[in-house]
Amino acid sequence: MSGVQIVRSGGLEAEADRSFIERLGRRAAISSVGSLRSVPEAFVIGAFDRLMEIVEVQSHVTLVAHSDGRRVGFLLMLDGLPDEVTALPQAFVAYMAVEPDFRNRGVGRALLQAAEAEARGRGLPHMALMVTEENHAARRLYERSGFQTERRLLCKPL
């Protein structure tokens, strides 16, 4: 998408960015839940709010996508969370969301590219993220961006 600008959040815009991230993240949170888990949306929104609290107290990067002066997406990347299996350093995309009317227009790809540049600049050898199996659009974006499946979370309803 031409005209999308990725900005590292901070400074005078930080509070407005945080407000945008909270609103969009809460609206998008339910899309992170697979069909195997029946859960009230309020629980998922609460989990997103807890994630925001966790991210804020760790080393992280907040990227915000702008188009025509409007905030249209964001990406939260942890840069000090090692891989839980190997303990190797990595960049971890904790959350990414794009406004529905800006999806499939290159915003997500631009956010990922900016996050990769940030991770490379920090000398991190890998970037990881999680996505539900059913989120086909996001999976296509990640696969086209070079991500490969390394592990799978298996779930069984009881």
10-residue block means of pLDDT along the chain (158 residues)?
76 88 95 87 95 95 94 96 93 97 95 96 96 92 95 88
Nearest Cα residue to 23 out of 77, 93, 73:
73
Quick check: 64 and 20 in contact, CB under 8 A?
A: yes
Q: What is the pLDDT of residue 1?
A: 46
Cα separation, 153 vs 96, whole angstroms: 19
Q: What is the pLDDT of residue 66?
A: 96
Q: What is the pLDDT of residue 2?
A: 55
Matching residue, tokens 């990725």: 6
Quickly list H helices, the chain.
Answer: 14-28, 41-56, 107-121, 136-144
Q: Which domains does the chain have, with CATH numbers?
A: 4-144 (3.40.630.30)
**C-alpha pair distances (Å), 132 with each of 19, 47, 110, 112, 158:** 26, 16, 21, 17, 19
CA torsion sign for 67, 102, 7, 19 is positive
Q: What is the pLDDT of residue 37?
A: 86
Q: What is the pLDDT of residue 38?
A: 86
